[in-house]
Amino acid sequence: MNVTGSRRALFAVASLMLGLAVLFPLWSVSLTAPQYPEGLGMYIWAHTVAGIGPNDLQNINGLNHYIGMQVIEPDAIPELKVMRPGIILMSVAGLVIAFLGQRRWMRVWAGALVLSAIVGLADFYKWEYDYGHNLDLENAPIKVPGMSYQPPLIGSKMLLNFTATSWPATGGFLAIGAVVLAFGVAFTGRTPNASASSLVGDASTAGSASARRTSDNLPPSSPVTR
């Protein structure tokens, strides 16, 4: 079943929002502490990880060395090699589906997008867990027994004297908006065919009722005389 032109346009907007997400950072992780009043931070893009400031990533890796955390090397993260092409492919597929205007494929696309987002967030959590728990304590200058340094997936958390904060960035909000808009278009409202069928059915019902009322109001017929 096809959807209306306005809904197809909204679905195309959702697809474009997803594609634009690769032009901006998807997530941000920041650290603040008394010795770093201006804070340190990094942006996670669809294809790389970069510091918010010019030397932020280098400084974060330096701090991580003292507590035995691994060095953050974007080239060593395999997900960053496939995420950007995958997002672009999904965006193009969404535009094609918007042109076709079939609700069934819109629902498939929206469902696939949600599933991809869930898998991506789970993988991000796993990445954070690995960096925060698998520590090289033998070579770490600072050892705190039982301490782990996993930053939060969303929100803020104290790590020693640092406050770590993690939130979606511009690209992340664009992707979230694409999911919400696509779901709204695909799973709400009626199709034009359904609306037309409903109108025809209503008209037929109204006509039958009117005919019954007319027949009820007619006077009884007179007997035929010869």
* pLDDT reading at 129 higher than 70: yes
On whether residue 50 sits in a domain, the answer given is yes
Q: What pLDDT was estimated at residue 216? A: 56
On whether residue 61 sits in a domain, the answer given is yes
Lookup: tokens for 222: 């007179």
169 close to 24: Cβ distance less than 8 angstroms = yes
**177 three-state secondary structure:** helix
Q: What pLDDT was estimated at residue 189? A: 74
Q: What is the mean pLDDT of the chain?
A: 86
**54 three-state secondary structure:** coil
* Residue pLDDT, tens place only, 26-82: 999 999 999 888 899 999 999 999 999 999 999 999 999 889 999 999 999 999 999
**169 three-state secondary structure:** coil
Within the chain, where are the H helices?
A: 5-20, 56-66, 79-100, 103-133, 170-187, 192-217
Query: What residues contact 188, with CB distance under 8 A and at least 6 apart?
Result: none
On whether residue 210 sits in a domain, the answer given is no
136 close to 68: Cβ distance less than 8 angstroms = yes
On whether residue 224 sits in a domain, the answer given is no
On whether residue 17 sits in a domain, the answer given is yes
The tally of domains found in the chain comes to 1
Residue that is written with structure tokens 């991506």 in the block: 120
* pLDDT reading at 22 higher than 80: yes
On whether residue 33 sits in a domain, the answer given is yes
On whether residue 47 sits in a domain, the answer given is yes
C-alpha 108: how far from chain center? 15
C-alpha 106: how far from chain center? 15
Q: What pLDDT was estimated at residue 212? A: 58
Length, in residues, of the chain: 226
Residue 213 — pLDDT band, cuts 50, 70, 90?
A: low
Boundaries of domain holding 48: 5-196
Q: What pLDDT was estimated at residue 199? A: 41
On whether residue 220 sits in a domain, the answer given is no
Residue 203 — pLDDT band, cuts 50, 70, 90?
A: very low
Q: CA-CA distance, 113 to 107, in Å (whole number)?
A: 10
Residue 144 — pLDDT band, cuts 50, 70, 90?
A: confident
pTM above the 0.85 mark?
Answer: no
* Residue pLDDT, tens place only, 29-39: 999 999 888 89
* Residue pLDDT, tens place only, 79-113: 999 999 999 999 999 999 999 999 999 999 999 99
16 close to 44: Cβ distance less than 8 angstroms = no
What CATH code is carried by the domain that includes residue 105?
1.20.140
* pLDDT reading at 176 higher than 60: yes
